Amino acid sequence: MKIAEIYEILDSIAPFELQEEWDNSGIIIGAKSSEFDKVYLSLDVDSELLDKIEENSLLITHHPLIFRGVKKIDFDSYPTNLVQKMVKKDIKLISLHTNYDKAKLNRFVAEDILGYKVIECDEFICYFEVEDRFANFYQDITKRLKLPCVKIVESKDFIKTAALTTGSGAEFISKVEADCFLTGDIKYHQAYEAKENGLSLIEIGHFESEIFFAESLSKNLKNFDIQAIIANSKNPFTYK
């Protein structure tokens, strides 16, 4: 199969034109005329993952390995050390980042992983009904996402509606119209903003909330008779 063929399929699943201006979704390594034997799916690219992937394969990730222009080719440093390894093994790379967040991932996590019915999606923010006490709700989220620990801001005792943005969505705190917001990478002053505005928060982690990318995309690719191998990267953080 050629890169051009699967690129069209991916574009039909999550149109690349939906990506943010600062994003770098699309073909990162390889040419549209390039062919490949197997497809691997992962949240990110890391050395351990590349050691496992067979030569002449296509790797599809959520996060682009290269976000901005590379000014120096240093094979001892990230990310060009990984680029060198991929070129040697003839591993092509396509990334679906903010376009996939908007089109698929946030809804998938809310419905398929957390078990709630989405009532509305506004770009990166998906809303759903909860109708439960905050204590019960955050404990349920912790269990479903298998979080080793959780940071919370409790502004309301009862949660009627909640909002979700996977990955890093704390910048949307001022825009959220719900009783509770679930996202990752929440900073100290953002937590204060939410608390003063009466918005409860559950910090669900960047890796922990987006690790489901591969599962979600695999499900969509099966509709096109494409069997992909889920070979996720590892979380750079450990909890002790």
Whether the predicted pLDDT of 92 surpasses 90: yes
Model confidence pLDDT, tens digit, residues 217-234: 999 999 999 999 999 999
Give percent of the chain with pLDDT exceeding 90.
94
What sign does the dihedral 40-44-45-51 (CA atoms) show?
negative
Tell me what percent of the chain is helix, strand and coil, each rounded to the nearest 5: 35, 25, 40
Examine residue 236 and say whether the peptide bond preceding it is cis (omega within 30 degrees of 0). no
Q: Which two tokens stand for residue 167?
A: 């990955």
Sketch out the chain's domains with CATH numbers: 3-97+211-230 (3.40.1390.30), 100-209 (3.40.1390.30)
CB atoms within 10 A of CB 73: 10
As a whole number, the mean pLDDT across the chain is 97
Structure confidence at residue 69 (pLDDT): 79
Question: Whole-model pTM?
Answer: 0.96
Residue 240's pLDDT band (cuts 50, 70, 90): confident
Whether the predicted pLDDT of 50 surpasses 90: yes
